Structure formats: structure tokens, C-alpha cells
A and B are shown apart, each in its own frame.
Chain A
Amino acid sequence: MIEALGKLVPGVESPKRAISFKERLKWTGIILFIYLSMGFISLYGVEPSTYEHLHYMQMILASKMGSLTTLGIGPIVMASIILQLLVGTKVLPLDLTKPEDRERFELYQKVGIVFFCFFEAATYVLLGAIRPRAPDPFLILLLILQLACGGLLVMLFDEVVSKWGIGSGVSLFIAAGVCKEIFIRAFNPFTFGSEIPAGLIPQFFIMLGMGDLSSAFDAILPVISTILIVFLVVYVNGIKVEIPLAFGSISGFGRRWPLKFIYTSNIPVILIAALLANLQMMGAMLANKGVPILGEFDAQGNPTSGFVYYITVPHALILSLLHGAFSSDLLLRALGHVLFFVIGSVIFSVLWVETAGMDAKSVAKQITSIGLQIPGFRRDPRIVEQVLSRYIMPLAVMGGAFVGFLAAFANFMGALGTGTGILLTVMIIYNFYETIAYRYMEEMHPALRKFFEG
């Protein structure tokens, strides 16, 4: 039934011929331009409002509240989370190594995305996250439809990028959203009616010129922590774990097979952060309607008690600490935030190993196909698999826990684009670079190729 529905969902056709790197770059650029532009186009009939309390959610879901990209990648990520859990717990018995099951997985995912587009659009409007300019039922319906259509467009954009472009649309939109935020917060030259420009770097120089060192420091601190987190994540992302293997034919020429320490990369963080963002959103909307099961919220939509309060962290914990506003409550929230990320990230990391074909069996196949084996053992994928299986699950757990910790910890620094956002962006850009380096190198212009070879 769901499969029949899935076939009804419009999709983007796969290219029938090989497409050049240049063409892929072109499509990626076009989609990026349209996506970013949509973020600056307000919904028709929406009550203008600030969404500062949803800053974190907007970074993680590549969304811009009140615009056509209000839902961002939310529906895609929600559908993915639900399916991962269903397949991972075997409620949905799919074997993703089989092509026909994989195809079914994709159809289910499509139906899920369409469902969440309409579901999220309706909840955002009906529960008051997005308010109509007037309580007119026609306007409310129009808003829901605009949000849902925006979500569906993002789904199609994602398909265009993964089939005709480079990498995945979801990652591209997150990275672009975070970089946009960093640039606008840092460089914004407009004053918007106040005395000084909104950008932190212009502010820094003006404060410095006025001799107000303390304000200048407060302005530049987020910029500094942004840069520090970028360096930290680049470094951690480069850590590898080497498993001893040897060439089958010539003994003695040992080789190590490097696996990334952060084995499942940023996927667990995308999923757990999206879950947190959705919990906060849902909690605020439910409390607004008098059902505070996830906690209570103040007028600005910040949590003040309950479950959500103890897993979210007030922005720029480090600033509160520097200004001496320390309390045991703050410490408890920081702890809750870290725990939520670490545990969630481990769960999604383990699930992702299965769904993405990164398990011992698949990696063993890949290794033996290029003629490597474990020293002292026969050449047999099952033996490689046995050795690998000792490493891969612990690696998925440790890597997942570590990346979850880092994503939570980075949020305490008050960096531009949020700590989690920067972590995701750095890993996305690096993965993007690796994809280009492996797949499209030979097609590149020599000058560009030289750059990519480092």
C-alpha cells in the first residue's frame, strides 16, 4: 500500500547518461542559489515576528522561520529518523543489502517526507509557531499550504543535488545555512535603525575606536570561538584508527587499513540535533496550547522547566560564566545537554552502520576486493570480516559518543551559527571535498586538480 503511494510522489529522474563534473557543479550552484533565495522570501499573510528562541533549530534544520524554507530539511530528517528506528529495531523487516529492499526503503522514505511536510506545516501554523496576520481560516489554510509546498520543493531540490549535482542536498543546505549565519552575524554592515551596524566585526572596531574595551571583547568573542571550533573539528575529523592488514601475495609488506575514528561522521549528530530541535519546537507549541508535557516556556519561547529545559542550554554559556552568572541549575542543564547528545548519538551511530552499509561484512568485501588480507590468515572475506567485527562496533560506539560530546560541548562556546552547526558544516565541507577528490578528479581542469591534490 505504502509502496503504491510512494510511486505516486513526484520525483526527479536519474540522468540517463554520464554527466560531467562541470554540469554537476552547475546544478549544485543553481539549487543552492534558489534555496538561499527562498530563505529571504516571506510567507504570504504571515505575522512578522522574531524567532530568536528557535535559533538552534533553524541552524540544524537549514530553516528560516517565516520564509518559504520554514520547514527546511525537517520533514526529510524526521522521515529518516523514524525509518532508521523502524528498520534498526526490525519492526520493519528490510534487508538493506538487497537492492529491492533498498528500493522499498526509499519509497517508504518518500511517503514519510510528504506526510511530515503536511504534518509539520499544519502543526507549525495551528499550534502557533507561525502566526497568520489575521485569524482568518482562509489565511491559515494558505499558510499551511505554503509551508507544505516549501517542504516538498526542498525534497525535490535534495533529489536534484544527489542525482544531478555533487553530494547530498540535505548537507549542502545545512552548511550553506550555517555559513550564511556566520557571515551575516560577523559582517552585516546595515544598522537597521540603530546607531551601530548589526555585524560583530564592524561593532568590534567601533567599540575599539570608542575605547570601550569590554564591549569590544564581548563583540569579538563569538567570532573567536567560531574560529577555534572550526580548528578543533578539523583536527578531530582527521583522527584515524589503523587496523593491521597485509597484501595477500607478498608477505612482509604489511599495510594498515585506516578507518575514521568518527566512523559514522556527522550523521548521528544531524539526527540527534534534529530530534532535540523538534522536541523544543513541539514542547513550546504544546505548552502554548496548555499541554506542558515536555516542559513550560516563557513568552519568548525559551524553556523554563521540564524535560526540554534540562536538555537544552542557554546560548553562550561561556559568556554567563565569564560574567560570573554561575549556578548549579546551569551546570545540571549543561550535563543534561551533553548526556542527551552522547546517548542519542551512540544509538544513531550504531543504527547508521547497518543502514549505510558500513558494517564489518560490507567493509570486508571492499577490502578483499583490492587484495588485502589480515597477516597470518588465509585470503577469505569472512576472516577479514571477523577481524573487522572486533573493531567496527566499538568504533561506531566510541566515535558516536565522542562526536556527540563535541557537538554538545561546542554549543557552550556561544559561537556564530551554533557549535553543533559549525561541527556539521566542517564535516560536510570536508566530506564534499573527499567526494570530489575521489570521483571527479580526472575530469578537472589541471589548475583546479593541482589544488585538490593539496
Chain B
Amino acid sequence: MVAAKPDKEEFKISTKIVLLGMALLGAIAFIIFIIFQFISWL
């Protein structure tokens, strides 16, 4: 059995995808958080 480590290019793309996905989900959630925070102050 031969284990192949991800090459540099692959690692770069995967990192980009994952960070983008996390930023997208986090940003959506953060906006909803802010909206509900303002609603609670009304």
C-alpha cells in the first residue's frame, strides 16, 4: 500500500475551498446573529 500525500497545488485548492466555505457559512450565520440581536433590543 502506497500512501500519497497531497501535493502543493492540491493542498492550496482544498484550503481555498474550505476557508471560503467556512467564511460563507460563518458570514451568513453572523448576519442572522446581528439581526436577532437588534430585534432583541427593539
Contacts and interface: CB of A to CB of B under 8 A. Distances in A.
Interface of A: 32-33, 36-37, 40, 175-176, 179-180, 182-184, 187, 190, 230-231, 234-235, 237-243, 256, 258, 261, 391, 395, 425-426, 429-430, 432-433, 454
A241 B2 contact: yes
A421 to B, nearest CB: 11
A413 to B, nearest CB: 17
Nearest to A176: B25
Contacts of B1: 241, 243, 391, 395
Nearest to B10: A238
Given A32-B28, A179-B29, A184-B30, A235 B21 contact: no
A180 B29 contact: yes
Contacts of B3: 239-242, 261
Contacts of A231: 15
A234 B29 contact: no
Task: Sort A-B residue pairs by CB-CB distance and give the 8 closest, nearest first.
Answer: A238-B6, A180-B29, A429-B21, A183-B26, A179-B25, A179-B26, A40-B36, A454-B13
B10 to A, nearest CB: 6
B21 A36 contact: no
Contact of B22 (A32, A182, A184, A241): A182
Interface of B: 1-6, 9-11, 13-15, 17-19, 21-22, 25-30, 32-33, 36-37
Query: Is chain B's binding surface mostly helix, strand, loop or mixed?
Result: helix
A209 to B, nearest CB: 24
A175 B25 contact: yes
Contacts of A243: 1
A46 to B, nearest CB: 15
B22 A234 contact: no
A33 B2 contact: no
A180 B14 contact: no
Given A180-B30, A234-B15, 18 more contacts: A40-B32, A40-B33, A40-B36, A175-B21, A175-B22, A176-B29, A183-B27, A230-B15, A235-B11, A237-B14, A238-B10, A238-B11, A238-B14, A240-B4, A391-B1, A429-B17, A430-B17, A433-B17
Given A36-B29, A183-B30, A230 B14 contact: no
A110 to B, nearest CB: 28
B4 A180 contact: no
A175 to B, nearest CB: 6
9 contacts: A179-B25, A179-B26, A180-B33, A184-B29, A187-B30, A238-B14, A239-B6, A242-B2, A242-B4
B30 to A, nearest CB: 4
A435 to B, nearest CB: 12
A242 B36 CA distance: 49
A256 B3 CA distance: 11
B3 to A, nearest CB: 5
Contacts of B11: 234-235, 238
A124 B36 CA distance: 25
A230 B18 CA distance: 8
B36 A37 contact: yes
Nearest to B3: A241
A237 B33 CA distance: 31
Contacts of A261: 3
A174 B26 CA distance: 12
Contact of A33 (B5, B21, B32): B32
B27 A241 contact: no
A179 B22 contact: yes
